Amino acid sequence: EAGVAQSPRYKIIEKRQSVAFWCNPISGHATLYWYQQILGQGPKLLIQFQNNGVVDDSQLPKDRFSAERLKGVDSTLKIQPAKLEDSAVYLCASSWGQSYQETQYFGPGTRLLVL
């Protein structure tokens, strides 16, 4: 089966510009996560969706980050305006449901560089 798809793979922007990332989860997966992975660190959750509803956005910097999953499938993550410290890899993951036992499957990530 096809894995989690993300685009673009790389993005370079100037600070204060805006940027958007796209994710298409594995078919049939109701739960979708966005993680931020800063160089040298493990991924950290930004937001979790169950279908098209937000389950956990407690660590999302809401003054500049936003995300949506309108039809419960694809999702977009936006940063506006970007700061230098937003340089990171943005990983999308999906799972079939919300069970604690379930495995999350990750996409290849979008590497963002803010200059």
Partner 1 sequence: AQSVAQPEDQVNVAEGNPLTVKCTYSVSGNPYLFWYVQYPNRGLQFLLKYITGDNLVKGSYGFEAEFNKSQTSFHLKKPSALVSDSALYFCAVRDKDTGRRALTFGSGTRLQVQP
**Contact residues for partner 1, defined by CB under 8 A:** 4, 6, 31, 33, 40-45, 48, 55-56, 91, 93, 98, 100-101, 103-109, 111
Closest residue by Cα to residue 46 from 66, 29, 70, 26 = 66
Q: What whole-number distance in Å separates Cα of residue 26 and Cα of residue 46?
A: 19
Using an 8 Å Cβ cutoff, are 15 and 112 in contact?
A: no
Question: Measured from the CB of residue 106, what is the shortest distance to partner 1 in angstroms?
Answer: 4
In the complex, what is the shortest distance from the CB of residue 63 to partner 1, in angstroms, rounded to a whole number? Answer: 21
Give least dist CB 59 to partner 1, A.
9
- Which residue, 13 or 45, has its beta carbon nearer to partner 1? 45
Plot region of 58 (φ>0 → left; ψ -120 to 50 → alpha; else → beta): alpha
Considering beta carbons, is residue 35 or 86 the nearer one to partner 1? Answer: 35
Distance CA 24, CA 107 (A): 9
* In the complex, minimum distance from the CB of residue 74 to partner 1, in angstroms, rounded to a whole number: 17
